[in-house]
Amino acid sequence: MRLQGKVALVTGAAHRVGKVIALMLAQEGADIVVHYGASADAAQKTAREIEALGRRALLHQADMADWNQAAELGRRALAHFGKVDILINSASSFVPNDYFSTTEADFDKAFDVNVKGPFVLSQVIARAMMDDTGEGVRGNIINIVDEGAFFPWREYVAHGISKAALLALTRAQALNFGPKVRVNAICPGPILKPPDYTEEQWQALRKTNPLRALGTAEQVGEIVLFLLTGPQFINGDCIMLDGGRMWQHQ
Beta strand extents in the chain (DSSP E only): 7-10, 31-36, 57-61, 86-89, 139-144, 181-188, 238-241
**Domain membership flag for residue 2:** no
Distance of CA 18 to the CA centre of its chain: 7
Q: What's the pLDDT score for residue 194? A: 80
Dist. CA 242–CA 187, nearest whole Å: 8
Q: What's the pLDDT score for residue 249? A: 64
- If you average pLDDT over every residue of the chain, what do you get? 95
**Domain membership flag for residue 106:** yes
**Domain membership flag for residue 87:** yes
Dist. CA 242–CA 229, nearest whole Å: 22
* Burial label, 100 (beta-carbon count in 10 A; 0-12, 13-18, 19+): exposed
Dist. CA 182–CA 139, nearest whole Å: 7
pLDDT-based confidence at residue 47 (cuts at 50, 70, 90): very high
Give the SS3 label for residue 184: strand
Dist. CA 80–CA 15, nearest whole Å: 23
**Domain membership flag for residue 48:** yes
Q: What's the pLDDT score for residue 193? A: 87
Question: How far apart, in Å, are the Cα atoms of 105 and each of 26, 109, 113?
Answer: 36, 6, 12
pLDDT-based confidence at residue 226 (cuts at 50, 70, 90): very high
pLDDT in tens, 89-132: 999 998 888 999 999 999 999 999 999 999 999 999 999 999 98
**Domain membership flag for residue 228:** yes
Domain that holds residue 177: 7-249
Question: How far apart, in Å, are the Cα atoms of 33 and each of 51, 81, 170, 236, 246?
Answer: 12, 9, 21, 24, 33
CATH of the domain at 64: 3.40.50.720
Question: What percentage of the chain has pLDDT greater than the value 70?
Answer: 99
Q: What's the pLDDT score for residue 250? A: 54
Q: Is the pLDDT assigned to residue 195 strictly greater than 90?
A: no
**Domain membership flag for residue 1:** no
**Domain membership flag for residue 93:** yes
**Domain membership flag for residue 53:** yes
Structurally, how many domains does the chain consist of? 1
pLDDT in tens, 71-95: 999 999 999 999 999 999 999 998 8
pTM of the predicted model as reported, rounded to 2 decimal places: 0.96
